[in-house]
Amino acid sequence: VSGLRRADCRAAGECVLFVNAGGCAIQGDHPSANLFSSDSFFQGGESIETSENIVQGGDYPSLYSSARYGDFTYRFDGLAPGDYYLDLHFAEIVHTAGPTGIRSFDVLVQQDKILSQLDVFKVVGGNRPLQVLDIRAFVGSNGAITIDFKGVRGNPMVCGICIRKSPATPAAKLGTRGSGLCKKCLTDVEISSPIQKRTAKLISKYEKQIEELTSQCNIKSDECSMAWSLVESTNQELDRLKMELHQKLVQTDNFEQVLDTQTDQLRKVSQNYENDKKLWAAAISNLERKIKAMKQEQALLSLEAHDCAHAIPDLSKMIEAVRALVAQCDDLKMKYHEEMAKRKKLHNIVQETKGNIRVFCRCRPLSKVETSSGYKCVVDFDGANDGDIGIINGGTAKKTFKFDRVYTPKDDQAEVYADASPLVTSVLDGYNVCIFAYGQTGTGKTFTMEGTERNRGVNYRTLEELFKIAEERKDTVTYNISVSVLEVYNEQIRDLLATSPSSKKLEIKQAGEGSHHVPGIVEAKVEDINEVWDVLQTGSNSRAVGSNNVNEHSSRSHCMLCIMVRAKNLINGDCTRSKLWLVDLAGSERLAKTDAQGDRLKEAQNINRSLSALGDVISALASRSSHIPYRNSKLTHLLQDSLGGDSKALMFVQISPSDNDASETLSSLNFASRVRGIELGPAKKQVDTAELQKVKQMLERSKQEAKLKEESLRKLEENCQNLESKAKGKEQLYKNLQDKVKELESQLDSKTHSQITSEKQQSQLSGKLKEKEEACTALQHKVT
């Protein structure tokens, strides 16, 4: 395990020779000056050296740095016969990393194999010393020791050889002394002479056997180690291969993944491609279709263009005709306007002849309470159709009144409105109109004006008709209709459409020439009839606010609905503003004197004043008085624009049929008669009817004229069309005739030509005839 030590050289005196195999002499601090001689006594082989460190090299590591290797033998001569010991020093300095078994060799001393298949690496590893000490050798008479190194695998190798003389008895004494050296323990053994030989023989025999067994064991262990190393290397190789395999598998996995993603991509791309292809194909076919259609269109258009080019002369003719027609039409329009203006005027005249103030009397039916209380009807409707109404009052003579119209209890709302309608609609022609309901409380004033939801009155029907006419005339006139609802109570104006009650007192102001208005009042714009009922309801609902009894309150105030109409004529640009007042007056009954106290008295006085002011204004207007007392009450002041002048007024006198109300009924009828301004009498009536008849005839005539004119216009248009078509036909005829003329001319030409040729022939023939005649006469001459 360790290299040679100084202490090992105790028997230096016995050392005959120490050879540094493969190296040079090494100077030592040994008693003998040259301890290690340079390499000699060898036959064959080569020397090698290493510069690597010898591990545990002992005191002389350089001994192991050099070696002889190859096929070699050492032979030492000139030795005195006797016993010697040999020390052999080895180190594996070539194959320092093995493997085991790379180098194994036998060592033979004096032809005896003393080491079999020595594998230095296997025993100590590389660059480590291995000493084999005290090998016995007997030198015979030839005085030589031979050491043979024989390789089993690879070359044998040795670093140093030491020959020592045995300190014991020389070999010659061996036989006499009877002692031997045990090869194993290297101790002297005393052997008796007779047994000595046999023992020696046995010993040598056993030694040989042991050697053989050892060598066999060595071989086996070498084989084992070889096999082991092979297994190890194979395992290593296997591991390496496994690793490689694993790497390859990982790589394969990666590749597979990459392949998968790429396949996916490819699929997507191909799908996209397919889709795109389809889309493009569809687009292309679509475009092709379009191109085809466009080509067809183009062909059609070019045909049309040709036609148009041909039609241009016709067109210009037509344009002229159309122009003429337009001129005619303009002319007719003008005439139509003139006629319309005339119609308006005539309508107005008719209304005026009926009286700018008209009074209709309406009597309500007897109520259930009245019949059950036994009250009788005092009204006589015999002359109702002629506008006569009679009151038979208990025994006294029947008193008769004449009105423009009398309605019996059987006449319904529609009939009542029908007579008011022409007056109402004149608001659309720009006239101001007033309609009142006058009468004792409970006689049907509110019923006539407002009506009920199922039985609507004049207010609603008026607006309904206004919208209807506005719609009919919308091509020529635009109407703008708005509505205000007022109440006059105790000479104070209240806006029934105002959403918040204002503390400000409403006053009447003069806005322009002859037009009055109440600043701050709500004018609800109504676009169609559906909005009207709501507005009217809002008005009548707010009338109830602040009063305990609606009927009582309403009977003591005037409820006034004002419809404002702004019209714009789209043909001549004329603009008009007109108003229609629909007034539900306060009850006209006179108070019993006992009741006349406090507030009731004030109310009664106010009502009285305003109603008599109304009567005064109307009668002043009727008598064409220079002063009309409009300002005597809020009621007449508000109505100033709509009473008098061009304005028209209608009063419904509402009466009760009951004998209980007879005196109030008479008073109402008297008031109404005063308003009407016409005394009863047949003369007036006739005059009236004659005038009316005249105007009616005029109207009829003008209507017929208009009709005739329209008819003639239509005829003119028809004629025009006929003439146009005839002109076209004639043109065609003319063309045909021209063609025929041309044909005939050409025929004529050919005929004259043939005539000329035949004439020529004739003259030729007559020439020949003459010649013949001459020849004939000549011959006759000869004969005679």
Name which of 610 and 654 has its Cβ closer to ligand ADP: 654
DSSP 119: -
By CB under 6 A, tell whether 364 contacts ligand ADP: yes
Name which of 72 and 438 has its Cβ closer to ligand ADP: 438
The region that residue 644 occupies, defined by phi over 0 for left and psi between -120 and 50 for alpha, beta otherwise, is left
Using CB under 5 A, which residues numbered 553 to 582 contact Mg ion?
A: 554
Name which of 449 and 463 has its Cβ closer to ligand ADP: 449
Candidates 23, 58, 442, 657: give the one binding ligand ADP (CB under 6 A). 442
Q: Which of 594, 590, 627 is nearest to 609 (CA)?
A: 590
Show the tokens assigned to 355: 């009286």
Candidates 105, 403, 447, 671: give the one binding ligand ADP (CB under 6 A). 447
User: From the CB of residue 475, how many other CB atoms can be counted at a distance below 10 Å?
Assistant: 8
Residue 408 among known ligand-binding residues: no
Place of tokens 């609902």: 541
- Minimum distance from residue 654 beta carbon to ligand ADP (Å): 6
How far, CA to CA in Å, does 664 sit from each of 41, 391, 442, 657? 184, 12, 12, 11
By CB under 5 A, tell whether 668 contacts Mg ion: no
Name which of 54 and 559 has its Cβ closer to ligand ADP: 559
- Minimum distance from residue 448 beta carbon to Mg ion (Å): 9
DSSP 568: E
CA distance 539 to 196: 167
Query: Between helices 413-425 and 458-472, what is the axis angle to 10°?
Result: 50
- Minimum distance from residue 589 beta carbon to Mg ion (Å): 12
Binding window for ligand ADP (CB under 6 A); candidates: 128-136, 394-402, 439-447, 640-648: 439-447
Name which of 405 and 445 has its Cβ closer to Mg ion: 445
The kind and range of the H/E element at 481 are strand 477-489
547-551 own/partner pairs: CB under 8 Å, 24+ apart: 551/441
Candidates 443, 484, 540, 665: give the one binding ligand ADP (CB under 6 A). 443
By CB under 6 A, tell whether 543 contacts ligand ADP: no
By CB under 6 A, tell whether 365 contacts ligand ADP: yes
Residue 441 among known ligand-binding residues: yes
By CB under 6 A, tell whether 439 contacts ligand ADP: yes
Name which of 103 and 543 has its Cβ closer to Mg ion: 543
Candidates 426, 654, 665, 673: give the one binding ligand ADP (CB under 6 A). 654
Name which of 3 and 444 has its Cβ closer to ligand ADP: 444
Q: Which residues, in sequence order, are CB contacts of 492 under 8 Å at separation 6+?
A: 505, 506, 634
DSSP 126: B
- Minimum distance from residue 691 beta carbon to ligand ADP (Å): 32
Question: Can you say whether the dihedral through the CA atoms of 673, 678, 681, 685 is positive or negative?
Answer: negative
- Minimum distance from residue 553 beta carbon to ligand ADP (Å): 11
By CB under 6 A, tell whether 553 contacts ligand ADP: no
Helices (H), 135-192: 174-177
CA distance 339 to 708: 12
Question: Can you say whether the dihedral through the CA atoms of 661, 585, 590, 393 is positive or negative?
Answer: negative
- In this structure, are residues 147 and 160 in contact, taking their beta carbons and an 8 Å threshold? no
By CB under 6 A, tell whether 82 contacts ligand ADP: no
Residue 73 among known ligand-binding residues: no
Q: Which residues, in sequence order, are CB contacts of 583 under 8 Å at separation 6+?
A: 434, 435, 436, 437, 449, 558, 559, 560, 561, 635, 639
Count residues binding ligand ADP (CB under 6 A).
13
Using CB under 5 A, which residues numbered 496 to 555 contact Mg ion?
A: 554
Which of ligand ADP, Mg ion, none interacts with 444 (beta carbon under 5 to 8 A by kind)? ligand ADP
Residue 196 among known ligand-binding residues: no
By CB under 5 A, tell whether 218 contacts Mg ion: no
CA distance 599 to 158: 161
Binding window for ligand ADP (CB under 6 A); candidates: 434-442, 482-490, 493-501, 743-751: 434-442
Question: Can you say whether the dihedral through the CA atoms of 680, 687, 655, 538 is positive or negative?
Answer: negative
Nearest 5°: the CA angle 175, 86, 140 is 40
Candidates 65, 131, 542, 555: give the one binding ligand ADP (CB under 6 A). 555
Which of Mg ion, ligand ADP, none interacts with 364 (beta carbon under 5 to 8 A by kind)? ligand ADP
Backbone angles phi, psi at 188, to 5 degrees: -75, 140
Question: Can you say whether the dihedral through the CA atoms of 437, 441, 444, 449 is positive or negative?
Answer: positive
Binding window for Mg ion (CB under 5 A); candidates: 138-146, 253-261, 444-452, 661-669: 444-452
CA distance 135 to 187: 12
Question: Helix, strand, coil shares of the chain as percentages rounded to 5?
Answer: 50, 20, 25
Residue 442 among known ligand-binding residues: yes
Binding window for ligand ADP (CB under 6 A); candidates: 379-387, 436-444, 632-640, 732-740: 436-444
Name which of 389 and 567 has its Cβ closer to ligand ADP: 389
Candidates 66, 104, 218, 446: give the one binding ligand ADP (CB under 6 A). 446
By CB under 6 A, tell whether 425 contacts ligand ADP: no
By CB under 5 A, tell whether 484 contacts Mg ion: no
Residue 439 among known ligand-binding residues: yes
Which of Mg ion, ligand ADP, none interacts with 82 (beta carbon under 5 to 8 A by kind)? none
By CB under 6 A, tell whether 588 contacts ligand ADP: no
By CB under 5 A, tell whether 446 contacts Mg ion: yes
- Minimum distance from residue 408 beta carbon to ligand ADP (Å): 9
CA atoms within 13 A on the CB side of 429: 20
The annotated binding site is made up of 439-446
The annotated binding site for ATP is made up of 439-446
Q: Where do contacts with ligand ADP occur on this chain (CB under 6 A)? A: 364-365, 409, 439, 441-447, 555, 654
Q: Where do contacts with Mg ion occur on this chain (CB under 5 A)? A: 445-446, 554
